[in-house]
C-alpha cells in the first residue's frame, strides 16, 4: 500500500486566517449597530459601499498580480479594512470620498506592498489619512447623535446626501451636521473656555454624555466589551489595547490633575471618538504591529501617547490614524530590541549580536 | 503518594492536545509473531554505522552481533532471531529521506535460538566503565525516538557530576502509548534499570517522570517502589502538556533550570533517559540480552485494532498492521512516531528499527487548506517552548538569510511542531526550519572542505616559498664560499705572521683557566663541609 507523504505535524488544525478575520468582524457588529442607532444610516450605507469597492479592488489586484483569487478574496481582510475605514469616516461622507479611501487602502497600502501579510502600514489608516488630508471639508460631515432637538435623517435622505451630494429642501448643512465632541472641545478650548463651561454649554453641551461624547460612550463601551472577548479568546493580543489604554489614561490623568480646566478628563478621552475601536480592532492588526510580547506593550503605549499628543496639541481633533501609522513605522525596531530571551540563553546575549568568534577562526 | 509534595515549574508555551492514547491501551502488550524475514539496517542510530561481522550465507543465532562499532558514537546491531543471512544489500529503511540503506537480511529458522548470554548477577561486582562496555556491546540506543547511543550518554565525562537521574516516561505526543504500557507491565524491570544507570553515573536521586494522564503507569511504578522500599527513586506526576517530554522542557519542569543552549544536561548535574532505554539496560546487564526488540504502538483511526506490540527489530511494519487487524478502507497516511514530530512513510514494507516507537495510521482526508501568507499574529511565538520567534525564523529561512536565522537561534528549535499547529496561515513552519538547518549544515561542510583546500593551498605556497628561499640561500652560500676561497687564496699568497702568535696566546689562556677552576673547586668543598 502506498501512502501520502506530508510534513509534520499531522494533526488537522482549526485555526485559519479566514476564521480570525471573521471573528474580528463579528465582534465589530454590536459597536457598529450602536453607531447606526446613534448616528444614522450613513454608517451602514458607507460600509456596504466600501465593502463592495474593497472586494472589487482586491479581486482586481489579485488578478493583476496573478495570485489565486478565491482564497484571498474570502479571507475577510478586505472587508475588515473597509469596515475599519468607514467607522473612522464621518457618517455623511460623500460616496466618492469613501471610494477613494478604500481604493487607496486596498490598492496602494495593501497590494502595492505585496498584499496580505506584507503591508507595513495599516491599510485602513492609510486610506483615512489620504482623505483627511485631501478633503478636510468633507471630513467634517459628522452627524449629531440621536438627541432631542436634532434632526434625524431618514434612510432615503441619507442615501441621496451620500450619493447625490444634495440636501433635502428643508435642511442646511449646519442643521444636519455638527462637530464631534472631540472637535468641539478642541475648538472651544482654543477660545479660552474651560472644560466645565464647554460641557455645560447650552448650545452644544448636549453632545456630551455622562463619561464621553453622547452616543460615543455606547459605541466605545460595546467595542470595549467585544474587544475584551476577543482578547480573552486569544484572537487579538491583549497587550496592545492594554498598553494603549494605559498610556492614554496615565497621560490624560496627569494633565487633568495638573489643570482640569484646560485638559479633558481621562474618561472623556477613552469614551470619545474611536479609542476603543482603535485599541481593540485597529491597533491589533497583527501584520503592521510589533510581534514580541514586550514590543506589543510598547507599540500599544506608543499609539496611546501619540493619540494624546495629537488630540491635545495637534491640528486634528482625533489622532488615531497618525498615531497608528507612526507606530507602524516603529514596529520593526521594537521587534528588534524586544527579542525574547531564547531558552537556554542568557540575557546578556541581548540584543542578539553577530558572532564575532567567526573572525577568530 | 509522594508525588504531590514536589514543586514543579512550567516551560514557556506548549500545547494541550487531544491525547488519543486510550485507543491503544485497552489490551496488554501483544508479542508480534516471529517473521520469516528480518531486515536489519546497519545504521539505526545517531552516529557512525558499525562494521559488518557477517557475510551472506552465515548462520546466526538470536542476539549475535552482526556489526561492531568502530567509532565512539556508534552502536552495534544484533540478529533478532536465529537463521541465515540471505542478503546484504541496500534496502528501503524508515527514514524521512526515503532513501535505501545497507541492510542485513536474515531468513529466520523458526527456532529462535539464543546465542550464549552472559548475565551479570551482582551489579556491584562491575565498575561503571565495565557496565558501560556491556551497554555498548548490547547496542542500546535512546528508545524515545532519537536513537542516540546510550553508552555515550551515560558517560558524561570525568568533570561532570550527575546529581539526579531523570527517567523520562512523559510520552507527551498524542497516540503513542508504548512507554505507558511498558511502565505498566515492566515496572520491576524499569526500576532495576534505573538502579543500574543510577549506579553507573553515581546519581543521588532518580526521578521517574510520568504525565498525569497515565495514572496506571504511575500506580504500577509506585507499587514497585513501595514494595522494594526504595528511597532514592521517586515517581513524579507532571502536567500533561506537549512537549513536556522534550529533554530540556522536562528538566525545566522538574528543576526550573535551563540546559544551556550549547551545553548538555550533565552541565547542570542531570542525566535524562527514556523509560524504554532503562528497561533495555536492565535486560542487557541483568539478563545479558542485547537490544533486539522493542515495544511499538500500532494505532490511529486508520487501523482496525490499535494495540501495543513487542516487536523484534527488523520485522516488517506490514506484518504488524496485519496482526493489528489491517487497515480501514479510508487509511491514507502512515506515520512513524507521533502526529506532532513523526514523519510519513510511503510504504509499510519497511523494517521496524530501534527508534520506531509508534506506527500511526491516519484516515483524516488530507484537506490541504491553502497556505496563506504570514500575518505576524505571533501565535507561534506564544506556544514556542524554546522561546524563539518562529515567524521571524520563517521570514529568514524563506529568504535564505542563513546567517541571521542563526542569530535568531534556529538551532535551539526542537522541531516540536507547536508553531505549525497553531499557525492560522497553515504555513508548514517546521519544514522551513529543517530546510534552513540542512542548508546551513551543508554550507558548513562546504566551508570545512574549502578551508581544508585553502590550508593545503597555503601550505603548498609556503613550501614553494621555502624551497625558493632555500635555493637562494644555497646560491648565496656557494657564492660566499667561493669568495672566501678567493680571499683565502689571496691571504695564502701574502702569508701573515698572526697565525704564529695565536697558538701561543691560547696556551697561556688555557693554563690560567685551569688554575682558576682548581681554586673554585676547593672553595666549594670547604663550604659544603661546613654545613
ipTM of the complex: 0.87
For the entire predicted model, the pTM comes to 0.83
- Chain B residues with CB under 8 Å of A4 CB are 332-333, 344, 366
Residue B364 lies in a domain: no
Could you say which residues from 57 to 86 on chain A have a Cβ atom under 8 Å away from some Cβ of chain B? 68, 71-72, 75
Number of domains in chain B: 2
Are B148 and B45 part of one and the same domain? yes
The pLDDT score that the predictor gives to residue B506 is: 76
- Report CA Rg, chain A: 22
pLDDT digits (tens, 9 = 90+) for A238-271: 999 999 999 999 999 999 898 887 888 888 888 8
Contact across the interface for B375 and A287, Cβ inside 8 Å: yes
Give me the domain span that covers residue B239: 2-336
Terminal CA-to-CA distance of chain B, rounded, Å?
Answer: 78
Could you say which residues from 119 to 178 on chain A have a Cβ atom under 8 Å away from some Cβ of chain B? none
Terminal CA-to-CA distance of chain A, rounded, Å?
Answer: 51
How high does pLDDT run on average in chain A?
87
Contact across the interface for B362 and A289, Cβ inside 8 Å: no
How high is the mean pLDDT in each 10-residue block of chain B (531 residues)? 71 93 94 95 90 94 94 93 95 86 94 92 90 94 89 86 94 95 96 95 94 95 94 94 94 94 90 96 96 96 95 96 93 92 93 95 75 92 94 92 90 94 93 92 88 88 91 91 88 64 73 81 60 43
Cβ neighbors of A148 (< 8 A, separation 6 or more) are none
Are B166 and B255 part of one and the same domain? yes
Are B315 and B422 part of one and the same domain? no
Q: What is the mean pLDDT of residues A282-293?
A: 94
Alpha-carbon distance of A85 to A50, in angstroms, equals 8
Tell me, what CATH number does B41's domain have?
Answer: 3.40.50.11540
Residue of A171, A55, A166 whose CA lies nearest to A102: A55
Flag whether residue B450 sits within 8 Å of chain A, measured between CB atoms. no
Alpha helices in A89-215 (DSSP H): 95-103, 123-134, 155-164, 173-176, 181-190, 195-199
Are B106 and B200 part of one and the same domain? yes
The pLDDT score that the predictor gives to residue B519 is: 76
Select the residue of A5, A20, A68 nearest B370 (Cβ to Cβ): A68
The pLDDT score that the predictor gives to residue A151 is: 65
Output A211 or B58, whichever has higher pLDDT. Answer: B58
Closest-CA distance, A33 to chain B, in angstroms, reads 28
Contact across the interface for A9 and B339, Cβ inside 8 Å: yes
Interface test with B, best of A1, A6, A10 (most B CBs within 10 A): A10
Are B463 and B314 part of one and the same domain? no
Contact across the interface for A8 and B388, Cβ inside 8 Å: no
For B44-73, the DSSP string reads -SSSBPPEE---TT-EE-BT-BSEE--SSS
Alpha-carbon distance of A271 to A250, in angstroms, equals 15
The pLDDT score that the predictor gives to residue A358 is: 41
**Which stretch of DSSP H or E encloses residue A197?**
helix A195-199
Output A12 or A324, whichever has higher pLDDT. Answer: A324
The pLDDT score that the predictor gives to residue B99 is: 84
Are B317 and B403 part of one and the same domain? no
The pLDDT score that the predictor gives to residue A350 is: 56
Output B293 or A274, whichever has higher pLDDT. Answer: B293
Are B329 and B460 part of one and the same domain? no
Domain boundary among B336, B360, B393: B336
Cβ neighbors of B333 (< 8 A, separation 6 or more) are A3, A4, A6, A10, B302, B344, B361, B362, B363, B364, B366
- Chain A residues with CB under 8 Å of B13 CB are none
Q: What is the DSSP letter of A249?
A: H
Flag whether residue B378 sits within 8 Å of chain A, measured between CB atoms. yes
Phi, psi angle pair for B463, to nearest 5°: -65, -45
Are B279 and B422 part of one and the same domain? no
Give the three cell numbers for residue B327: 487497515
pLDDT digits (tens, 9 = 90+) for A153-167: 788 888 888 888 777
Q: What is the mean pLDDT of residues A69-79?
A: 92
Domain ranges of chain A: 16-177, 179-339
Flag whether residue A24 sits within 8 Å of chain B, measured between CB atoms. no
Flag whether residue A230 sits within 8 Å of chain B, measured between CB atoms. no
Q: What is the mean pLDDT of residues A315-341?
A: 91
CB-defined contacts A:B, below 8 A: 166
Place of cell 514523519: B343
Alpha-carbon distance of A10 to B173, in angstroms, equals 11
Cβ–Cβ < 8 Å for A143, A153:
yes
- Chain B residues with CB under 8 Å of A3 CB are 332-334, 344-348
Strand segments, DSSP code E, in B291-430 are: 293-299, 307-312, 333-336, 343-345, 358-362
The pLDDT score that the predictor gives to residue B3 is: 46
**Which stretch of DSSP H or E encloses residue A150?**
none
Alpha-carbon distance of B227 to B233, in angstroms, equals 12
Select the residue of A1, A20, A335 nearest B424 (Cβ to Cβ): A20
Alpha-carbon distance of B285 to B295, in angstroms, equals 19
Residue B431 lies in a domain: yes
Structure confidence at residue A143 as a pLDDT band (50, 70, 90) = confident
- Chain A residues with CB under 8 Å of B408 CB are 339, 352
Three-class DSSP category at A5: coil
pLDDT of A231 above 80? yes
Q: What is the mean pLDDT of residues A72-96?
A: 93
Place of cell 478586505: A78
Amino acid at each position: 500500500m502506498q501512502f501520502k507523504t506530508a510534513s509534520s505535524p499531522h494533526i488537522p488544525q482549526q485555526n485559519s486566517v479566514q476564521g480570525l478575520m471573521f471573528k474580528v468582524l463579528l465582534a465589530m457588529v454590536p459597536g457598529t449597530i450602536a453607531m447606526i442607532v446613534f448616528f444614522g444610516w450613513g454608517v451602514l450605507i458607507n460600509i456596504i459601499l466600501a465593502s463592495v469597492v474593497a472586494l472589487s479592488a482586491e479581486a482586481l489586484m489579485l488578478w493583476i498580480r496573478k495570485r489565486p483569487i478565491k482564497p484571498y478574496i474570502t479571507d475577510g481582510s478586505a472587508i475588515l479594512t473597509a469596515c475599519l475605514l468607514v467607522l473612522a469616516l464621518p457618517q455623511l461622507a460623500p460616496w466618492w470620498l469613501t471610494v477613494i479611501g478604500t481604493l487607496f487602502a486596498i490598492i496602494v497600502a495593501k497590494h502595492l506592498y505585496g498584499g496580505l501579510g506584507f503591508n507595513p502600514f495599516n491599510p485602513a489608516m492609510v486610506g483615512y489619512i489620504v482623505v483627511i488630508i485631501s478633503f478636510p471639508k468633507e471630513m467634517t460631515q459628522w452627524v449629531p447623535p440621536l438627541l432631542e432637538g436634532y434632526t434625524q435623517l431618514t434612510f432615503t435622505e441619507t442615501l441621496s446626501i451620500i450619493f447625490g451630494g444634495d440636501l433635502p429642501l428643508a435642511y442646511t448643512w449646519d442643521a444636519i451636521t455638527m462637530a464631534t465632541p472631540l472637535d468641539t472641545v478642541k475648538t472651544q478650548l482654543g477660545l479660552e473656555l474651560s472644560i466645565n463651561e464647554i460641557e455645560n454649554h447650552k448650545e452644544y453641551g448636549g453632545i456630551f454624555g455622562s463619561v464621553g461624547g453622547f452616543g460615543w460612550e455606547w459605541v466605545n463601551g460595546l467595542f470595549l466589551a467585544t474587544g475584551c472577548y476577543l482578547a480573552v479568546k486569544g484572537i487579538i493580543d491583549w497587550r496592545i489595547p492594554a498598553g494603549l489604554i494605559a498610556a492614554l489614561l496615565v497621560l490624560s490623568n496627569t494633565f487633568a490633575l495638573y489643570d482640569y480646566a484646560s485638559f479633558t478628563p481621562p474618561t472623556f478621552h477613552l469614551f470619545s471618538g474611536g479609542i476603543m475601536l482603535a485599541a481593540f480592532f485597529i491597533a491589533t492588526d497583527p501584520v503592521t504591529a510589533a510581534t514580541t510580547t514586550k514590543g506589543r506593550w510598547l507599540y500599544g503605549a506608543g499609539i496611546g501617547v501619540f493619540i494624546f499628543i495629537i488630540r491635545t496639541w495637534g491640528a486634528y481633533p482625533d489622532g488615531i490614524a497618525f498615531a497608528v501609522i507612526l507606530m507602524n513605522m516603529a514596529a520593526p525596531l521594537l521587534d528588534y530590541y524586544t527579542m525574547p530571551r531564547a531558552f537556554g540563553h542568557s540575557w546578556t546575549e541581548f540584543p542578539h549580536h553577530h558572532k564575532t568568534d567567526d573572525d577568530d577562526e | 503518594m509522594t508525588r504531590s509534595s514536589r514543586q514543579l515549574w512550567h516551560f514557556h508555551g506548549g500545547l494541550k492536545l487531544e491525547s488519543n492514547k486510550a485507543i491503544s491501551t485497552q489490551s496488554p502488550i501483544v508479542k508480534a509473531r516471529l517473521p520469516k524475514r528480518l531486515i536489519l539496517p546497519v545504521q539505526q542510530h545517531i552516529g557512525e554505522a558499525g562494521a559488518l561481522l557477517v557475510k551472506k550465507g552465515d548462520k546466526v543465532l538470536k542476539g549475535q552481533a552482526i556489526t561492531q562499532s568502530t567509532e565512539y558514537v556508534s552502536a552495534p546491531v544484533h540478529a533478532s532471531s536465529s537463521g541465515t543471512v540471505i542478503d546484504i544489500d541496500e534496502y528501503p529503511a524508515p527514514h524521512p529521506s526515503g532513501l535505501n540503506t545497507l541492510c542485513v537480511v536474515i531468513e529466520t529458522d523458526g527456532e529462535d535460538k539464543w546465542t550464549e548470554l552472559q548475565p551479570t548477577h551482582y551489579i556491584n561486582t562491575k565498575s561503571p566503565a565495565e557496565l558501560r562496555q556491556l551497554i555498548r556491546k548490547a547496542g542500546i540506543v535512546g528508545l524515545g525516538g532519537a536513537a542516540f547511543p546510550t553508552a555515550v550518554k551515560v558517560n558524561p565525562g570525568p568533570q561532570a557530576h550527575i546529581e539526579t537521574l531523570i527517567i523520562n516516561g512523559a510520552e507527551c505526543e498524542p497516540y503513542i502509548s508504548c512507554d505507558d504500557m511498558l511502565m505498566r507491565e515492566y515496572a520491576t524491570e524499569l526500576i532495576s534499570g534505573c538502579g543500574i544507570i543510577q549506579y553507573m553515573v553515581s546519581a543521588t536521586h532518580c526521578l521517574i517522570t510520568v504525565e498525569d494522564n497515565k495514572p496506571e503507569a504511575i500506580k504500577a511504578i509506585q507499587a514497585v517502589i513501595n514494595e522494594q522500599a526504595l528511597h532514592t527513586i521517586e515517581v513524579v506526576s507532571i502536567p500533561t502538556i506537549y512537549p513536556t517530554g522534550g529533554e530540556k522542557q522536562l528538566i525545566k519542569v522538574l528543576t526550573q533550570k535551563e540546559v544551556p543552549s550549547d551545553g548538555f544536561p550533565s552541565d547542570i548535574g542531570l542525566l535524562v533517559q527514556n523509560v524504554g532505554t532503562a528497561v533495555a539496560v536492565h535486560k542487557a546487564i541483568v539478563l545479558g540480552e542485547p537490544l533486539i526488540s522493542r515495544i511499538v504502538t500500532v494505532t490511529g483511526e486508520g487501523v482496525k485494532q490499535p494495540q501495543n506490540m513487542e516487536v523484534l527489530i527488523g520485522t516488517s511494519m506490514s506484518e504488524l498492521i496485519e496482526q493489528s487487524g489491517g487497515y480501514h478502507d479510508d487509511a491514507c497516511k502512515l506515520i512513524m512516531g507521533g502526529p506532532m514530530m513523526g514523519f510519513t512513510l510511503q510504504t509499510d514494507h519497511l523494517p521496524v528499527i530501534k527508534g520506531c516507537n509508534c506506527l500511526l495510521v491516519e484516515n483524516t482526508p488530507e484537506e490541504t487548506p491553502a497556505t496563506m501568507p504570514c500575518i505576524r499574529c505571533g501565535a507561534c511565538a506564544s506556544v514556542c517552548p524554546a522561546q524563539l520567534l518562529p515567524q521571524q525564523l520563517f521570514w529568514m529561512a524563506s529568504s535564505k538569510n542563513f546567517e541571521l536565522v542563526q542569530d535568531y537561534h534556529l538551532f535551539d528549535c526542537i522541531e516540536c511542531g507547536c508553531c505549525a499547529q497553531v499557525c492560522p496561515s497553515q504555513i508548514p513552519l517546521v519544514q522551513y526550519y529543517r530546510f534552513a538547518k540542512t542548508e546551513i549544515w551543508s554550507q558548513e561542510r562546504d566551508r570545512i572542505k574549502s578551508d581544508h583546500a585553502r590550508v593545503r593551498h597555503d601550505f603548498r605556497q609556503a613550501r614553494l616559498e621555502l624551497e625558493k628561499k632555500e635555493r637562494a640561500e644555497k646560491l648565496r652560500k656557494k657564492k660566499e664560499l667561493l669568495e672566501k676561497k678567493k680571499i683565502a687564496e689571496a691571504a695564502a699568497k701574502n702569508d701573515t705572521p698572526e697565525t704564529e702568535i695565536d697558538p701561543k696566546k691560547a696556551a697561556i689562556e688555557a693554563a690560567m683557566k685551569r688554575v682558576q677552576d682548581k681554586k673554585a673547586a676547593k672553595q666549594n668543598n670547604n663550604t659544603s663541609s661546613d654545613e
